[in-house]
Structure 1
Amino acid sequence: MTMCGRRVRGLGLALLIGFVALPAQAQDARLCLSGSNTVGQKLAPMLVKGWAERQGWALHGESRPALDETRLTLATPRGALVVDILAHGTSTGFDALREGRCDLWMASRAVRDAEIGAAAALGRLYEQGQEHVIALDGLAVIVHPSNRLRALTVEQVRNAFAGRVRDWAQLGGTPGPIVLHARDDRSGTYDTFRALVMGDVALSGAATRYESTAQLAAAVAADPRAIGFVGLAGVDGARALALSERGTVPLAPDALSVATEDYVLARRLFLYSRERPRAEVQALLDFVLGPGGQAVVEQVGFVPQDIRALAQRAPDNAEYRALVAGARRLSLNFRFGEGAAVLDNKAVEDIERLARFMRAPAQAGHELLLIGFADRSESTPLEALSLSNDRVDLVAAELRAEGLRVARQRGLGQIAPVASNDNAEGRLRNRRVEVWIRPIAAPR
């Protein structure tokens, strides 16, 4: 459903400077964020503090009322504003938003169709004004730093967490029992792991379960036999493995592979709001999505959505390699629904981010290249080639409408998959338009 968002142009002055004048508030007003531990443990408190600093408000107090809960008291000119951050898992935040107990739902997965229906009174949670991608994350499969393995396939990880493989020697490691650590059932991190790794296969009952990312990472970092999974910012003293699926090369979770969502376990982190949030809630959202909030995202250890030009190894395919010769990859992809050429919510925002990036003085004298791809389920190779060109043409038209120079656009069909075509998530990653940048060639 996230592919269906309506387009809303511009974030306005509030996003650009991070300040919104708020109406007078009662003494000890309250703002609440509830849900994902991945978002709520470190990121959400830091975002609230950054927002308060931008507003010129002092942090009057910080406490931990319970495990995975943070209370921040902000001293504003209109009285105290108490911000409660309840990080007990993605599903708990949906209930809190639907029942009116919290203002923002922190989620480490996209809203589900059933949740959209159950919360219809709040508006359309899948639309751009209510679904806010705040950061990118890579779900890291972690081991002890002394583990000699550097890469696994997703199938190997699945077999280990299902209990089908019980000794590290079966995976090419040092002989010894595999000790499993996993997030609990309320966690959006576990939801993502189950969707992208486990599928219909049950998690082994031998796995130790955790509500807290930090506790899980600490347990893995302390045991050479351990394996677990956390968000990228939660790796701490453990080490993340590179992962691959059938037909793809192993990729470790890093700034480029996560920003482009090419990494097989890349995911989006969200805030969801009701249709017309209160002024202070909207002001916080504007800060989070703007440059100040995205700087905090990077500081905490997640991948921000600002655009950067990064080096990438040359593609294996000769035609693909020739198209991007002399260019650098930009840190975003545009993704599409099956058989569709419609921008999703993040893509709509990325058009505007890319326009701001290209208008900066550092990009003067540069032009864009767009390379489109399809997945192997999209009919015949010829039709897939046509569809990949349609997607490139759509992105090119949006960028030219922003006054940007697109030097070349080409669809390459079903080549160069970054994920398996055997599942829906993998096919979504393969339906993409990549963006590259290069200097404008001097006229001959």
Structure 2
Amino acid sequence: MSKSFKKVLVSLLVSAAVLSLAGCGSSGSSTTTSSAKISGEINGGGSTSVQKVIDAAGSEFSALNPDVKFTYSGTGSSDGIKGATAGTYSFGCASRDLKAEEKANLTELVFAYDGIAVVVNPANTVSNLTKDQIAKIYMGEITNWSEVGGADAPIVVVSREDGSGTRSATEELIGFAEKLKPDATIKEGNGNVQTTIAGNQNSIGYVSLTFVDKTVKAVDVDGVKATVDNVKNKSYAISRPFLALYDKSKVDDATLAFLDFLMTDDGQAIVQKEGAITV
């Protein structure tokens, strides 16, 4: 038998073996690499600041996993923490750091960062305030826009409800915790604050950066603009984390899969698209 014939024969035998293995692989379920099907009901709740991000991420996750029913209720950070602790929510969200007594058995996932914008009506000529001026406005020590370079008009102070993560973070970062003026207008949710400021030329409020649009004007704080870049480079002082919270002993696989999705490239792209800051 010639060497060339032996080479051809060996080649034919190898090819036959490869084809045989391929056939075996295609015939049974033992070779499948597809992931387990995700199904179930995910009901999150908590901070309204994160709602645009969570709603968009939940919508995309449900589209990728049609057997998942996803809902999120914007009820405030404190409620999100309580719901995650009790297990009444699949996961909770907070837009502030947790207090020591709130941590309990909760696992904290930082999925984004956010800046808090101090906003006025677009007709207001004031474009910059110091942290000290903002604090004094919210404590009632500065009561007229003329005191900070604006028109001679009373300042209408708009704040958030008790339990709001945005309120807690703002009060701590600006420096008026537990000192809010008694007659401040209280609104629940970023959207309601935004609408109130848009409708009153003399008002001032604060909202998540994700709620700043053409209906309100974000003022500079200590000469620094409220932008994503300035939050990232830490030059803008009023910023906080966005947290997803869950109890490991109560969380289900579908919820964990959603939280994993939040941290993927696709999930973080949604974070950025919705105006928050990626991790």
For normalisation by structure 1, the TM-score amounts to: 0.53
Alignment partner, residue 217 of structure 2: 239
Name the CA distance, whole Å, in 1 between partners of 2:177 and 2:96.
18
Superposed counterparts of 1:24-423, under 5 Å: 25=39, 29-40=40-51, 42-53=52-63, 55=64, 57=65, 75-76=66-67, 81-116=68-103, 119=104, 122=105, 125=106, 130-200=107-177, 202-236=179-213, 237-244=215-222, 250-275=223-248, 277-305=251-279
Q: What is the aligned-residue identity percentage?
A: 26
Task: Give 1:168's aligned amino acid.
Answer: W
User: Is the 8 Å Cα contact of residues 22 and 280 (structure 1) preserved in structure 2?
Assistant: no
User: Is the 8 Å Cα contact of residues 85 and 246 (structure 2) preserved in structure 1?
Assistant: no
Alignment partner, residue 13 of structure 2: none
Name the CA distance, whole Å, in 1 between partners of 2:266 and 2:93.
19
1:319-365 deviation digits (Å, cap 9, x = unpaired)? xxxxxxxxxxxxxxxxxxxxxxxxxxxxxxxxxxxxxxxxxxxxxxx
For residue 152 of structure 2, give the secondary structure of its aligned residue in structure 1: coil
Name the CA distance, whole Å, in 2 between partners of 1:133 and 1:224.
36
Bigger radius of gyration, 1 or 2?
2
Name the CA distance, whole Å, in 1 between partners of 2:149 and 2:210.
27
User: Is the 8 Å Cα contact of residues 178 and 225 (structure 1) preserved in structure 2?
Assistant: yes
Cα shift at 1:255: 2.1
Name the CA distance, whole Å, in 1 between partners of 2:115 and 2:195.
18
Q: Which runs of 5+ in 2 are unaligned?
A: 1-33
Cα shift at 1:22: 4.1
Task: Give 1:189's aligned amino acid.
Answer: T
Name the CA distance, whole Å, in 2 between partners of 1:135 and 1:251.
21
Give the alignment's Cα RMSD to 1 decimal.
Answer: 1.8
Name the CA distance, whole Å, in 1 between partners of 2:122 and 2:146.
17
Task: Give 2:153's aligned amino acid.
Answer: G
Name the CA distance, whole Å, in 1 between partners of 2:36 and 2:155.
54
For residue 111 of structure 2, give the secondary structure of its aligned residue in structure 1: strand
Cα shift at 1:24: 6.7
Alignment partner, residue 422 of structure 1: none
1:56-108 deviation digits (Å, cap 9, x = unpaired)? x4xxxxxxxxxxxxxxxxx32xxxx3323121100011111111111211000
Cα shift at 1:158: 0.7
Name the CA distance, whole Å, in 2 between partners of 1:146 and 1:107.
32
Which structure's residues are more often helix, by fraction?
Answer: 2
User: Is the 8 Å Cα contact of residues 37 and 213 (structure 1) preserved in structure 2?
Assistant: yes
